Structure 1
Amino acid sequence: MKFISWNVNGLRAIVKKNFSEVFEALNADFFCLQETKLQEGQIELDLPGYHQYWNYAEKKGYSGTAIFAKEPALSVRYGLGVEEHDTEGRVITLEYPEFFLITCYTPNSQNELRRLDYRMTWEDAFLAYLTELKQQKPVILCGDLNVAHKNIDIKNWKTNQKNAGFTPEEREKFSTLLAAGFTDTFRYFYPDAEGIYSWWSYRFNARKNNAGWRIDYFVVSDDLNERLLDAKIHTDIIGSDHCPVELDLK
């Protein structure tokens, strides 16, 4: 099984570029999107052979997630079931016989860390949600988790320690997630790989200079580790400020 996750930073914009070509070339069983930035009825995607699941933010042109799946889900949940966290279209959970698949667009702590306190509240609620699911069956989590975990996950780690996405608080929450029985699949296969990122700022020629961050992930509950085949980061695929990431599972 092939899983793809991609923060498209505006689906309507990327559809005018190369979305259909990338979608067809990757030919995933499950294709997960973050930051779709649209409302219901604003786009009509013709994806033969795929079931479409969408979660929209109440605020127009903001956030949003989607999953396109070759197999229909047994059940679908939108959000965490916590009103405080469920107005921005950030989470979709699909249930299948052997696992839960979750796509997530984690809230950014923003400039001057204006939203860091909210981010910490979100992290606790999200971990509680994942832990509850994990008690029922294995979990596959993907998405833009808006954190570079280790120094090797970011180009300029020394100068970014007080910036959103690389604060000690955010990194510690990711460590706590892993300690709760989850695996960062890219690091499972490539524990020491450096210079491989999934997001680059549009400023300062960041992508050209590979001044990036690895903030897009596939994280699985540890009971799936023996089924892991590979984890990839498609740094060559353009169209967004993020590139797609992939998980291959037996």
Structure 2
Amino acid sequence: MPSTSRLRVASVNVNGVRAAYRRGMAEWLDARDVDLLALQEVRASTEDLQSLLGDEWSILHDPATAKGRAGVAIASRRRASIHRVELGAHDFDSAGRWLEADYEVGGRIVTLVSAYVHSGEVDTPKQVEKFKFLDAMQARLPELAAHSELALVVGDLNVGHRTLDIKNWKGNVKRAGFLPEERAYFDRFVGAEGSDDHGLGWVDVGRRFAGDVDGPYTWWSWRGKAFDNDSGWRIDYQLATPALAELVTDYTVDRAATYDTRFSDHSPVVVDYAI
């Protein structure tokens, strides 16, 4: 039998990496033995990232066009063999929101994408941009699967796919993040609830591993008692090709013990794959 390598992939929207480090992100990362780390909403320079993470990490970073906004990164103990940052048409600005990289793991190529979908706002240009991004993502997913059977799109995708993914879903059906039009994209990505049609064939690792339960949520507002009451949203995903999804051995949302020990309004999603 061929030997296997454990690949631990962590993804988190850090809500500004410098602020996250001031709140204790380093302690979390030091304790988690992560192989590939995908970050969203970096909002810092590549030099800032390297200084915070340390020289043992090889860092790929795609900042947003507007300074201090968005930004995605992938940090690894190994160097990527190739990376790509363009998504969609040439006139579409996806900077700071989509970063792809190939890594050799156990003699196989694993393709990882760190993605940060727009939050959107109903009836505004922000929602138009969100739909443009989701359209581009829908077009890219089959190409990724053709490129590598072990492909993974992770990050803050800013859509709750099912009613199980939002605590107060009834109050959010007309809000960005839970619009029927947004959720329909995820029906195409991973298949609709209760349907034999698996869409583009990608697997929502978190839902498959957790089953039909509420959450586990990954984002809670800083305001009020949302965190204490677990009134959250599951909007941070790891979407895997079927071959990679079959290799999942563990899935965890690293929810902080208390409100005041959070380093971001999102919790890291950590998944182990046996490659």
Q: For the superposition of Structure 1 and Structure 2, which TM-score range results when normalised by the shorter chain?
A: over 0.9
Specify every segment of 5 or more residues in structure 1 that has no aligned partner in the other structure, as ranges: none
When the two structures are superposed, what TM-score results if normalisation uses the length of structure 1?
A: 0.94
Match of residue 152 from structure 2: 140
Q: Out of 9, 12, 20, which is 2:18 matched to?
A: 12
Deviation at 1:51, TM superposition (A): 0.7
Matched positions, count: 250
Q: Out of 25, 33, 37, which is 2:39 matched to?
A: 33
When the two structures are superposed, what TM-score results if normalisation uses the length of structure 2?
A: 0.86
Please tell me the residue identity of whatever aligns with 2:246. E
Match of residue 62 from structure 2: 55
Aligned counterparts, 1:1-250, within 5 A: 1-43=7-49, 44-80=51-87, 82-96=89-103, 97-110=108-121, 114-138=125-149, 139-178=151-190, 179-236=199-256, 238-250=262-274
**Distance in 1 between residues matched to 2:162 and 2:264, nearest whole Å:** 23
What are the Cα deviations for residues 17-38 of structure 1, in whole angstroms up to 9, with x where unaligned?
Answer: 2121111111100011000112
User: 1:7 touches 1:34 (CA, 8 Å); kept in 2?
Assistant: yes
Please tell me the residue identity of whatever aligns with 2:173. Q
Match of residue 195 from structure 2: none
Q: CA RMSD in A?
A: 1.7
**Distance in 2 between residues matched to 1:65 and 1:58, nearest whole Å:** 12
Please tell me the residue identity of whatever aligns with 2:15. N
Aligned identity (percent) is 34
What are the Cα deviations for residues 186-221 of structure 1, in whole angstroms up to 9, with x where unaligned?
Answer: 111112121420001112221111110000011101
The 1:10–1:111 alpha-carbon spacing in structure 2 relative to 1, beyond 3 Å, is farther
**Distance in 2 between residues matched to 1:210 and 1:176, nearest whole Å:** 29
**Distance in 2 between residues matched to 1:55 and 1:165, nearest whole Å:** 24
